[in-house]
Amino acid sequence: MTKIIGLTGGIGSGKTTIAGYFKEMGVPVYIADDGARNVMQSDHVIKELKQVFGEKLFENNILNRAKLAEIVFNDSDKLAKLNAIVHPAVKQDFEFWLKQHNKSPYVIYEAAILFESGRYNDCDYIITVTAPEEVRIERVLKRDNTTREQVLSRMQMQWKDEDRISRSNFVINNVNLKIAKEEVVKILKILNIKQNQS
């Protein structure tokens, strides 16, 4: 049976880069953010979003994601409402994707809010990607059109690294990319040994 490896980390930790390394090594990767983006274009999710957040978030039936992010990142109640719509749809999307990859010994499920969403319960192993806070802030500032204050406020909405690490099987400190890639190779070796033992 295919094992699900949860891959998580705070904003700017570089978990998508790490997911890319697993993909390079032949492990199928599901990016929850991309899944969310796809399901948010489906008719039933659009209908629910309009009911909860109103028509003002849509232009020509296309969701203004920046406007939505602005609303939910400053309001935990609205964020919870958004998650209640999107998470079940992403779960369904992932299950459909998983069936298409059921010949693989492992798949990676990459999600920033793996713990917050409760999806960690569906994982056989969990990898947390970490990096020093200052490095993470710099990465996000370079990547997104945002401010330091906005990055810090998004960080505060997420779990702290120590809380993630305490529930993880593996930790990758993602500062030096070469070393991080070597960690991915090591983890895959360990997983292969475990797979052969079971």
Structure confidence by residue, pLDDT tens digits, 134-193:
999 999 999 988 899 989 988 988 899 999 999 999 999 999 999 999 999 999 999 988
Binding residue numbers for ATP: 12-17
- Look at domain 3-190 and name its CATH class: alpha beta
% of residues, the chain, pLDDT over 90: 70
Average pLDDT, the chain: 92
Nearest Cα residue to 166 out of 4, 8, 3, 5: 8
Evaluate if residue 25 carries a pLDDT over 70.
Answer: yes
Q: pLDDT value at position 79?
A: 87
Q: pLDDT value at position 198?
A: 65
Q: Which of the four pLDDT bands, split at 50, 70 and 90, describes residue 116? A: confident
- Is 129 in contact with 14 (CB distance < 8 Å)? yes
State how far the alpha carbon of 59 is from the alpha carbons of 46, 63, 176, in Å: 12, 7, 42
CA 177/CA 162 separation, integer angstroms: 21
Binding residue numbers: 12-17
